[in-house]
Amino acid sequence: MTRSKAKSKKPGGVDFKKIRRKIGKKLPPPKNATNTEIKSKAIVLPEQSVAADKAGLAVNKKGLTLKELLQQTSHHNAKVRRDALVGIKDLFNKFPTEMKLHKYAAIEKLRERIGDDDKVVRRTLYDLFKSVILPGCKEDNQELIISLLMAYIFNAMTHLAFDIRIMAFDFLDLVLQFYPPSFSSYAEKIFQNYEDILRKNQYFSQDKGKLKDVLAGLIRCLSLLPWNKGETNLVDKDDNGRILLHAFDDDMPISSNGFSHIIKKLRDLAPVLINSFLEFTPSITAMASIEGKSFGCMLSILHGIDLIIRSFVHGADKESESPSLEGEPNGAMLDITISSLLLKKVFPLFPLSPAHHLSEKDYNRLVDLNMAVAKIFLELNEWIYLPPDLLEKYLEFMEHALFGKVCNDAQSDNAVSEKRLIQLLLFIPKFVSRGASHWTTRLLQAFTYILRESKPGSLLKLACLSAIEDMLTPIQAMLSLEKSNPENLELQEYLMAWIAELPLLLIQLGDKHPACSEVALRLQLHIGQRALSNSSLACMYDDIQDKLKIFYCTCQGGGKKCSGPFVRLPRESQELSLCCLYYFSHLDLPILKSIACCCLSPELDRSVLFRIIEIIHSAYREGHIKIADHLSIFITFVLRFEVSPEGSSGLKSVILCQTFKSMTTLLCSYMAQIGGNYLVLNIIEKVIIDHILLKPPLDNSCSLLRMIVTVDSKPTRLSEQSIIVLGSYLSKYLIDAAQCLPEDYDEQCKSSTQLTSVHYYLLPCFFLFDRCHKLLNLVLKNMGSAIAESSLWPMSDDYTQHPSNWLVRVNAVASVLLLIDKDPKMQQILSSFKEGVDSIIQNVSSLQSSEKISMTIEEKHKIKCTHDRLKMLLR
Amino acid sequence: MEVVVASSSVDAGIGCWDLHTGAEQLRHKSCWSPPHGLVSVGGRFLASSHLSPQSSGGCIFFWSWSKPQIGVRSFPAETIKPLSANHPGTYIAGGGVSGDIYLWEVETGRLLKKWHAHYRAVTCLVFSEDDSLLISGSEDGSVRVWSLFMIFDDLRSQEASQLYEHSFTGHALRVTDVVIGYGGSNAIIVSASEDRTCKVWSLSTGALLRNIVFPAIIDAIVLDPAEHVFYAGSRDGKIFIAALHTESLVTSSYGMHIIGSFSNHSKSVTCLAYGISGNLLISGSEDGMVRVWDARTHNIVRMFKYAKGPVSNICVVRPEIDSTNRISQSSSRKQGSDLPPPLEKYSNSVEDLDAKMPILLRGDKRCAEVSYLSSHVISSHINELQRHGSAAASELEMGKLKDDYQKSMQMVNQWKKMYENLHQFCVKELLDGGQARV
């Protein structure tokens, strides 16, 4: 175009303008030149991945990115696919963030491989999910991931290739392990698929291992059903930590509609399981030894049937609660087919007995199978009527098992047989609750045997205890209905035998098995709470206390270090055991003494000590303790408490002192609550005076005095004799108390701790003096004579072997008098006993001038000072 | 008038005080009531179980508001400790020491029902807000919820495995107090026990909602009317405040869910009550004082000196003194006029009732239920109504009506006045507003 344009212009020009061009010179660009320059921001060229620059991108060992790897997973070559999966695993391991970002995309691509034709690829994929992807997605939206996978898993389950199907179940298992709640939304479909696969038993005949795996998966699914995992759920529901009272509960159980669908599926599943079980049985009876795998299969099948039956029972229970739920006959009618199948085919086979003599291992395996069948039978027995002759057979087996006759003796106490027995034990309470018969007696006899024989602290013991707990209510209900029935009487006897076992068990357990102790104590408490309704039971319960003594305090001789296992149990168990005490209809002195002994053990926590006192007092208020015993225990507490811990050579521990003071306060307030102070005083007066004569340590006697003061009244009610005893004792007590003061004690510093503690010691005396002036007079006289004594026979007394000793005493008397004088009320009373004070001063001055005692100048000075201080008092 | 009624387990009579003026009313004589043993029956009269050291068995006494002497004495089959009456005062429930619960009809004194409720003595009884449920606490540590419908339905109770609706067995020791909140079937039940805990239960699900461990034994609890908190009186003299529907600080010095405490610096708190009007908390103590607290500020508003002995019961009642007086004037019964007959010892009057009933009811399964409607009570009421038709009664009725008429007239006048005032005020406002805008 441009050219033709130029041509057309030429004719227009007149002349050609000659342009001379020089060789070598560059021509100017023509005017009509086309611009051939290409401009672009970037040039994208398809290139080879090997050559590409991947700096900054996440790559695996082989330098491939996630995108490439995912693309390769759908490669037609199985080897490439497998390598890609391995690569992804490697990549994700190296770069966890990469997985976080792209996990949904990755899963979406990877799930296609669940139905992969190649076995190795599937294995690798399984491995990838198991070890990397699912653990990495724990915190994310698990529902979404599951829903992404499930469709493909179900698809693979219906694949033509048998291997793929089996593998799909493995995947399902994996997913359910990863997020169990997802089960409920797919339950119906899952069971359908299990049923389909189990029907194809011709495939399994060669490979028992695979069947075993599938069954294991099925059992896992069945035990995920909400009613089958009930026990574990209860533990989590301890909602003490909840902040709101009425919080929203998000763990919704499967709706009743979904439930009935699942039951329907299970109904289809059960016959399939039974059939496959029946296929095994001829081999068992015929063969000399049981093959490990087929034994495993049989056991799993039985377990599965058991779980299904349990679901039916649960469904039946639910129906009885709300009968008008659905018109469709779900309950009894539903399972006639299954139960009749079981009755016709499975139950008559019991007990599976070998045709030949078996090795020990095989024999035990057979026992396991028998146990499983028995369990199913008993489960069903709870719910529908089964022929009595069959029942007889099973109960006999159960009895044998409990007596330990079924298993070989050599292995009778291993963990496996224990586990079996625990399962059987569950049925005893259920059986008992149906009413008494001659079989209950036989079973209970076996049960009692087990209870006695099982090792303390073992799981079996624990199961026994909880079985007793379960039986408590039905047995009591039966007993309250008709007492005269001889079978009921037998029940009662068994119950009493169990109760008698409890204290022995507690002592055997010691502090080694706190969990078991707690269960035993809880059982004891429950028995105690219910004991009243039955007189012989109450009697039995009361009898326990004699044996329980050792539980609190191991030696009765009054020696040191004799605390029983109680002291070392955890706090909850201690609380339970204390609560048990409350329910004894009468607490005798021996057990009270052993409790007191345990209270005084230094190992015991202070709060427990107060709790014990509280409970003892509660029991007293209910009339379970005689008042004399109650008071004597209080006095024992006060008398035997040791303020200075052992090995501290008489030094007082401040904490113990505090505890002791608050304990005394508590005891005194309880004594005041008893009411009838005069009566209380009457009871305790003689005991306390007797003990005071024995000169207990300062703190203990102070508390004893506080007790007297609490129940005494303004004109004292103490007898003449006690006042005389007190008079002589108090003078020594006061002197001892005053010696707690430092020698250079300054009257001005009133806040010193020593002063307050001395005041604490003096206070009960002040009360006594206030109520009985005569007592003060007596005390003054005694103090005077004490000084006189020391001046007369300085060498005869132990006290006055050294002059400084009696000097201390004189000093103490002086401080006591000064302290008494400081109290305004006491001052008044003191002023009416001038002559007593006078005589003391007289004695001091005579001591001063005494020549029998040789004193240093310093001592003389001191006594002079004391004399002066006392003189001040008189003015 | 709001009256605080207090009684003791040692004889100090029943003290009554006007809550708002503090004036002491009549002191009723000779009452030894154990905890939870004093109850006002529909505000008409007082009933108390009686447990004196002199008499061996326990009895139940009634006092009318106007007389200090015991009006009616009843002697039940065994010692009754806790008593409870439903809100209109038609039934009295009592808990025996053997664990039985008795239910009497007040009007006739008939023992309608007796059933074995607990393994040990019943310690407290309380009716729910709508009177359909009875909640009992026992010495054996269990708290049970009884539906009266179930109790009186012989057929259903025979079929059912247990009579109770719920049995809460969380406490290790004797239950000391039980209260139930508002909210019908969704209410909460709070129980206190000697094991130092209070537990909150859900009535609808039967689940334990909360377990609160206190530093001392709790003897009395009372709910705040809004159920934000509950107050718990402890044996060490403190009144604790525990959280229900309120945020509780975990770092409380006493423990989980305990918000705080206030103390009267005295001996143990034995009973608590909440005023009907006004935010007042009333506590009775071992030292014989009844203290009235302002629940918001925790200050003592008023103190009533009751006696030297411990206070065992406190009720806040609005006594129906006026109406009972009127009835006592009009009715032909001369003495003990306003009080019902004593409670029966045994339930034996069912037979003679049945004789009166038509036989065709026998075949019907609901027959048993019918017999508990105590038809002769109704017929006696009819009789009384007919007697009311006599001249004296009609005169009385006339007087009453005249009274009412006058009252209504006064009301009308008052309303008129108020309307006038309001009208004037509005007009003024409008006019003022208009002027301002102009």
- Give B328-372 pLDDT, tens digit per residue: 444 434 444 567 888 877 766 544 444 333 333 333 333 344 444
More confident residue, A552 or A863: A552
Q: How far apart are alpha carbons A740 and A754 in whole angstroms?
A: 7
Instruction: With CB atoms and an 8 Å threshold, state whether B217 touches A614.
Output: yes
Which of A240, A576, A615 minimises the CB distance to B211?
A: A240
Give the length of chain B: 438
Is the pLDDT at B74 greater than 90? The verdict is no
**Percent of chain A residues past pLDDT 90, beyond the cut:** 0
* pLDDT band, residue A592 (cuts 50/70/90): confident
Task: Say if CB A367 and CB A290 are below 8 A apart.
Answer: no
**Position A317 confidence tier, pLDDT thresholds 50, 70, 90:** low
Taking a C-beta distance cutoff of 8 angstroms, is the pair A723, A774 a contact?
A: yes
Give the mutation candidate from A434, A473, A478, A529 for the B interface (greatest B CB count, under 10 A): A529
* Whether residue A565 has a cis bond before it, omega within 30° of 0: no
- The answer to whether residue A808 sits within a structural domain is yes
Query: Where do we find the tokens 């719910």?
Result: A383
C-alpha gyration radius of chain B: 25
pLDDT tens readout for residues B13-53: 888 888 888 888 888 888 888 889 899 888 888 899 888 77
The CA distance from B158 to the nearest CA of chain A, in Å, is 14
Cα B249 to Cα A75, A92, B239, B252, B256, distances in angstroms: 61, 44, 18, 6, 8
B chain contacts of residue A674, beta-carbon cutoff 8 Å: none
Of A245, A529, A675, the CB nearest to B120: A529
Q: What is the CA radius of gyration of chain A?
A: 47
Q: Per-residue pLDDT tens for B156-179?
A: 877 777 888 889 988 988 999 999
Q: Is residue A651 part of a domain?
A: no
Q: Do B208 and A582 touch (CB under 8 A)?
A: no
Instruction: Name the residue of chain A whose CA is nearest to B120's CA.
Output: A532
CB contact under 8 A, B99 and A533: yes
> For residue B176, what is the nearest residue in chain A, using CA coordinates?
A618
User: Which pLDDT belongs to residue B50?
Assistant: 84
Cα(B231)–Cα(B260) distance, rounded to whole angstroms? Answer: 10
Distance of CA B247 to the CA centre of its chain: 30
Query: Which member of B116, B140, B188 has the closest CB to residue A245?
Result: B188
Of A744, A740, A734, which Cα lies nearest the Cα of A820? Answer: A734
Range of the domain at A773: 721-875
Instruction: Order across the sheet with B38-41: list the strands.
Output: B38-41, B45-50, B59-64, B72-74
Q: Which residues pair with A695 in a beta bridge?
A: none
Would you call B173 and A532 a contact, using CB atoms and an 8 Å cutoff? no
Alpha-carbon distance A522 to nearest alpha carbon in chain B (angstroms): 9
Cβ-based contacts of A246 with chain B (< 8 Å): 186, 202, 209
Q: Round to whole Å and give the CA distance between B181 and B363.
A: 41
Distance of CA A807 to the CA centre of its chain: 62
Q: Which residues contact A733 (CB under 8 A, 6 or more apart)?
A: A698, A701, A705, A761, A765
Q: Which residue has the higher pLDDT, A459 or A559?
A: A459
Phi-psi region of B229 (alpha: psi -120 to 50; beta: other; left: phi over 0): beta
Across A797-848, the runs of DSSP E, i.e. the strands, are none
Q: Test B210 with A242 for CB contact under 8 angstroms.
A: yes
How many other CB atoms are found less than 10 A from the CB of residue A833? 18
Measured CA to CA, the distance from residue A581 to residue A462 in angstroms comes to 22
> For the residues of B79-111, what is the DSSP string, one character each?
-EEEEEE-TTS-EEEEEETTSEEEEEETTT--E
pLDDT of residue B402: 94
User: What percent of chain B has pLDDT above 90?
Assistant: 21
3-state helix, strand, coil in chain B (%, to 5): 25, 35, 40
Are the Cβ atoms of A245 and B209 closer than 8 angstroms?
A: yes
8 Å CB contact of A575 and B195: yes
Report the alpha-carbon distance of residue A661 to residue A678 in Å, rounded: 24
| Three-class SS state of A563 | strand
pLDDT digits 0-9 by tens, A169-218? 888 888 888 887 777 778 888 888 888 888 876 666 667 777 888 888 88
pLDDT at B57 over 60: yes
Q: How far apart are CA A715 and CA A768, in angstroms?
A: 10
Identify which of B172, B200, B244 has the shortest CB distance to residue A525. B172
User: Mind telling me how many Å the CA of B99 is from chain A's nearest CA?
Assistant: 9
* Residues in a beta bridge with B122: B138
Residues B60/B46, Cβ–Cβ less than 8 Å? no
pLDDT of residue B179: 93
Work out whether strand B208-213 and strand B218-223 pair parallel, antiparallel, or are unpaired: unpaired
A55: exposed, middle or buried (Cβ count in 10 Å: 0-12, 13-18, 19+): exposed
pLDDT of residue A97 exceeding 70, the answer is yes
Q: What is the pLDDT of residue A405?
A: 63
Confidence check: pLDDT of B260 > 50: yes
Measured between CA atoms, the residue of chain B closest to residue A531 is B119
Tell me the two tokens of residue A493: 């006897």
| Chain segment A24-72, per-residue pLDDT in tens | 888 888 888 888 887 878 777 665 555 555 666 777 777 777 888 888 8
Closest CA–CA distance from residue B248 to any residue of chain A (Å): 7
Interface touch A618/B194, C-beta < 8 Å: yes
Say if residues B125 and B36 touch (Cβ distance below 8 Å): yes
Residues of A in contact with B194 (CB under 8 A): 582, 615, 618
Residue B65 has pLDDT above 80, yes or no: yes
Q: Does residue A762 lie within any of the structural domains?
A: yes
Best of B51, B122, B138, B140 to disrupt the A interface (most A CBs within 10 Å) is B140
How many residue pairs bridge chain A and chain B with CB atoms within 8 Å of each other? 65
Query: Is residue A208 a part of any domain in this protein?
Result: no
Tell me how many degrees the CA angle A325-A328-A331 measures, rounded to the nearest 5: 80
> What's the total number of domains in chain A?
1
Taking residues A234-246, report their average pLDDT.
53
pLDDT score of A582:
87
Of A358-362, A746-750, A850-854, B318-322, which range is least confident?
Answer: A746-750
Distance in angstroms (rounded) separating the CA atoms of residues A801 and A795: 6
By CA distance, what is B212's nearest residue in A? Answer: A240
**CB hemisphere CA count around A174 (13 angstroms):** 23
Q: What is the full DSSP assignment across B348-391?
A: -THHHHHHHS-GGGTTSTTHHHHHTT-HHHHHHHHHHHHHHTSH
Residue with structure tokens 């970037």? Answer: A42
Q: Under CATH, which architecture does the B3-323 domain have? A: 7 Propeller (2.130)
How far is A548 from chain B, CA to nearest CA, in Å? 19
Cα–Cα dist B68/B62, whole Å: 10
pLDDT digit string (tens) for A647-705? 656 567 778 888 888 889 888 888 888 877 888 888 888 888 888 888 888 888 888 88
CB contact under 8 A, B119 and A532: yes
- Asked whether the beta carbons of A306 and A371 are under 8 A apart, the reply is no
Sheet strands side by side (includes B143-147): B122-127, B133-138, B143-147, B166-168
Quick check: B210 and A618 CB within 8 A? Answer: no
- Of A97 and B369, which is predicted with more confidence? A97
Main-chain phi, psi angles of B140, to 5 degrees:
-80, 5
Looking at residue A228, the DSSP 8-state letter turns out to be T
Give Cα separations from A605 to A598, A612, B34, B187, B345 (angstroms). 11, 11, 34, 39, 50
CA B275 vs CA A152, A475, B184, B317: distances in Å: 68, 46, 21, 9
Cβ-based neighbours of A212, under 8 Å, separated by 6 or more:
A293, A296, A297, A300
Q: What angle do CA B22, B28, B31 make, to 5 degrees?
A: 120
Q: Distance (Å) from the C-alpha of residue B82 to the closest C-alpha of chain A?
A: 15
- Residues of B near A (CB-CB distance < 8 A)? 10, 99, 116, 119-120, 139-142, 172-174, 186, 188, 194-196, 200, 202, 207-211, 217, 235, 244-245, 247-248, 256, 267, 286
Q: Which residues in chain B are closer than 8 Å to A622, comparing Cβ atoms?
A: 139, 174
The pairing of strands B229-234 and B238-243 is: antiparallel
With beta carbons less than 8 A apart as the criterion, state whether A167 and A153 touch.
Answer: no
Q: What percent of chain A is helix, strand and coil (3-state, nearest 5)? A: 70, 0, 30
Rounded distance between C-alpha atoms, residue A538 and residue A585, angstroms: 8
Task: Name the residue among A242, A529, A576 with its Cβ closest to that of B119.
Answer: A529
- What is the nearest CA distance from B77 to chain A, expressed in angstroms? 17
Q: How many CB atoms within 10 Å of residue B358?
A: 6
**3-state SS record for A47-98:** CCHHHCCCCCCCCCCCCCCHHHHHHHCCCCCHHHHHHHHHHHHHHHHHCHHH
A623-653 per-position pLDDT tens digit: 888 888 888 888 888 888 877 766 656 567 7
The secondary element (H helix, E strand) that includes residue B233 is strand B229-234
Q: Which amino acid type is present at position A835? A: E
Name residues whose C-beta falls within 8 Å of residue A385's C-beta, 6 or more positions apart in sequence. none
Look at residue A805 in the predicted model and tell me its pLDDT: 66
Across the interface, do A673 and B286 touch by the CB < 8 Å criterion?
yes
CA distances from A360 to A411, B258, B349 (A): 9, 62, 73
Question: CB B200 to CB A245 under 8 A?
Answer: yes
Least confident window among A4-13, A85-94, A858-867, B406-415: A4-13
User: How much is the average pLDDT of A571-581?
Assistant: 88
Nearest to B256 among A240, A530, A579 (CB): A240
Q: Higher model confidence: residue B112 or residue A675?
A: B112
Distance in angstroms (rounded) separating the CA atoms of residues A145 and A151: 11
For an interface test with B, the pick among A239, A240, A710 (most B C-beta atoms closer than 10 Å) comes out as A240
Query: Mean pLDDT over residues A845-863, rounded?
Result: 71
Residue A151 lies in a domain: no
Q: Provide, as residue numbers in chain A, all residues whose Cβ is less than 8 Å from the Cβ of B119.
A: 476, 529-533
Q: What pLDDT score does B331 carry?
A: 40
Average pLDDT over residues A790-796: 53
Q: Are strands B3-8 and B311-317 parallel, antiparallel or unpaired?
A: antiparallel
Higher pLDDT, A608 or A651: A608
Q: For tokens 């054996």, what's the residue?
A: B140
Nearest C-alpha of chain A: how many angstroms from B435? 57
Does B247 contact A575 at a Cβ distance shorter than 8 Å? no
**Would the CB atoms of A245 and B244 count as touching at under 8 Å?**
yes
Q: Are the Cβ atoms of B140 and A530 closer than 8 angstroms?
A: yes
In chain B, domain spans? 3-323
pLDDT at A388 over 90: no
B chain contacts of residue A240, beta-carbon cutoff 8 Å:
210-211, 256
* Phi and psi angles of residue A585, each rounded to the nearest 5 degrees, phi first: -70, -25
Nearest chain A Cα distance for residue B172, angstroms: 6
Average pLDDT taken over every residue of chain A: 76
Q: Which residues of A touch B267 (CB under 8 A)?
A: 669, 673
Q: Looking at the predicted complex, does its ipTM rise above 0.95?
A: no
- Residue in A with minimal Cα distance to B256: A241
> How far is C-alpha B273 from the chain's CA centre?
10
Q: In this predicted structure, what is the pLDDT of residue A857?
A: 75
Residue A485 included in any domain? no
Give a yes or no: residue A80 inside a domain: no
A239/chain B closest Cα distance in angstroms: 7
Per the rule left: phi > 0, alpha: psi between -120 and 50, beta: everything else, A575 is alpha
Q: Is the Cβ pair A240, B210 closer than 8 Å?
A: yes
Give residue B405's pLDDT band: very low, low, confident or very high (50, 70, 90).
Answer: very high
Q: What number is the average pLDDT over the span A374-390?
A: 75
For residue A837, the tally of other CB atoms under 10 A from its CB is 20
CB nearest A245 (choices: B196, B245, B256)? B245
Give pLDDT, residue A341.
74
Cβ burial, residue A458 (10 Å; 0-12/13-18/19+): middle
Task: Identify which of A243, A480, A529 has the shortest CB distance to residue B247.
Answer: A243
End-to-end CA distance of chain B: 54
- Contact (Cβ atoms closer than 8 angstroms) between residue B212 and residue B199: yes
Relative to beta strand B289-294, strand B300-305 is: antiparallel
